[in-house]
């Protein structure tokens, strides 16, 4: 079965997937099945192997990985069983995101400008980074991988991101001006390199370091945690999406079109990920509730 795992991984990677976690899991499953003398996937074996994980989420991930593998193998060899989907009954829950107010975003940017720095570039870097995330809804990884050559007259060229897709993100004139001012400061500080957002040493910002600095900025800006959970940098993306939906044109048909445009802009591979933002958009949720109630009572949807 190891040979089948290698074939599966090669095919998927040829289409742009990295599959580092899937590789580890499938190798483990193949070894588990081989120890039982099996050369084909059996549902009972998949369940037994997946059940070794400690948490429900981990068991679900292990099981679903085998399910996808089995679907691939059955195309050429029906002797492989096809385990039924979601055997463990797992349902993903999402953390309720913090939606930043305009004043909170301003406070974060102001706190960034006060960061200690050897030559004052780092405060400008973080102020520009937070401003861009708030204005575009980019993933933090997309912003950190952004190259100077990716800034083109039509906007930002976001190359092969989370789902191996490249997309163009148009910028508002104010975002263009702000980014231009930062690049001018960067050039004035005689910092080279291809990446847009760099440290005082001229090196690309590191993902974990950015999160650590952002936590400091959150506290400096006077933001408070919800229970034990502090606002996160990724929630600037949530905030952008929610504000975009709140400002969508009236009329449910036009909102649907707006949702499709937003999914494309954000780089979602599945529009379900975009519809989830409705849960944190009270105004639109009220509209949906009113329409649903009218429908249940026999009115027009």
Residue 31 resides in a domain:
yes
Residue 85 resides in a domain:
no
Is residue 228 domain-shared with residue 106, that is, in the same domain? Answer: yes
Range of the domain at 265: 236-296
Tally of structural domains, the chain? 3
Dihedral, CA of residue 21, residue 25, residue 27 and residue 32, to nearest 10: 170
Residue 96 resides in a domain:
no
List residues bridging with 169 in a β-sheet: 156
Domain with residue 115: its CATH number is 1.10.443.10
Q: Are 252 and 291 in contact (CB under 8 A)?
A: yes
Give the pLDDT confidence score for residue 288 in this predicted structure: 56
Is residue 63 domain-shared with residue 119, that is, in the same domain? Answer: no
Name the nearest CA neighbour of 40 among 9, 66, 10.
66
* pLDDT at residue 127 tops 70: yes
* pLDDT at residue 298 tops 70: no
**Domain stops at, among 57, 74, 91:** 74
Q: Take residue 291 and report the two structure tokens written for it.
A: 């329409």
> What does the pLDDT look like over 90-99, one tens digit per residue?
887 767 788 8
Give the pLDDT confidence score for residue 85 in this predicted structure: 87
> What does the pLDDT look like over 6-63, one tens digit per residue?
999 998 888 767 777 899 999 999 999 999 999 999 999 999 999 999 999 999 999 9
Give the pLDDT confidence score for residue 225 in this predicted structure: 87
Residue 191 resides in a domain:
yes
Q: For residue 15, what are the CA distances in angstroms to 10, 40, 136, 261?
A: 9, 25, 28, 25
Q: Please give the average per-residue pLDDT across 117-133, as a whole number.
A: 90
Residue 248 resides in a domain:
yes
Catalytic residues: 139, 162, 234, 237, 268, 277
Residue 84 resides in a domain:
no
Say what the pTM is.
0.67
- Report the run of H or E that residue 156 belongs to, with start and end: strand 155-158
Average pLDDT over the chain, rounded to whole? Answer: 84
Residue 60 resides in a domain:
yes
**Domain stops at, among 176, 207, 232:** 232
Distance CA 14, CA 280 (A): 37
Is residue 125 domain-shared with residue 169, that is, in the same domain? Answer: yes
- Residues present in the chain in total: 301
pLDDT band at 278 (very low <50, low <70, confident <90, very high): low
């Amino acid at each position: 079965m190891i040979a089948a795992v290698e074939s599966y991984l090669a095919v998927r990677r040829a289409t742009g997937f990295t599959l580092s976690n899937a590789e580890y899991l499938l190798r483990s499953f193949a070894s588990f099945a081989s120890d039982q003398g099996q050369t084909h996937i059996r549902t009972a074996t998949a369940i037994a192997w997946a059940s070794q994980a400690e948490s429900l989420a981990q068991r679900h991930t292990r099981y679903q990985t085998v399910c996808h593998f089995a679907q691939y193998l059955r195309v050429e060899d029906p002797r492989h069983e096809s385990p039924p989907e979601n055997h463990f009954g797992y349902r993903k829950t999402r953390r309720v995101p913090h939606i930043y107010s305009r004043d909170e975003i301003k406070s974060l940017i102001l706190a960034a400008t006060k960061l200690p720095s050897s030559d004052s570039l780092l405060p400008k870097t973080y102020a520009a980074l937070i401003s861009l995330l708030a204005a575009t809804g980019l993933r933090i990884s997309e912003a950190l991988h952004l190259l100077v050559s990716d800034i083109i007259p039509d906007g930002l060229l976001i190359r092969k991101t989370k789902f191996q897709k490249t997309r163009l993100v148009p910028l508002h004139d104010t975002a263009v001006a702000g980014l231009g001012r930062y690049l001018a400061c960067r050039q004035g500080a005689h910092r080279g390199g291809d990446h847009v957002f760099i440290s005082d040493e001229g090196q690309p910002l590191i993902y974990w370091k950015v999160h650590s600095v952002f936590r400091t900025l959150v506290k400096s800006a006077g933001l408070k945690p919800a229970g034990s959970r502090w606002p996160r940098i990724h929630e600037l993306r949530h905030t952008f999406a929610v504000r975009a939906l709140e400002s969508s044109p009236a009329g449910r048909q036009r909102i649907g079109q707006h949702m499709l445009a937003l999914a494309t802009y954000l780089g979602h591979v599945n529009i379900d990920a975009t519809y989830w933002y409705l849960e944190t958009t009270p105004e639109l949720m009220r509209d949906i509730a009113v329409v649903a109630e009218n429908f249940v009572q026999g009115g027009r949807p």
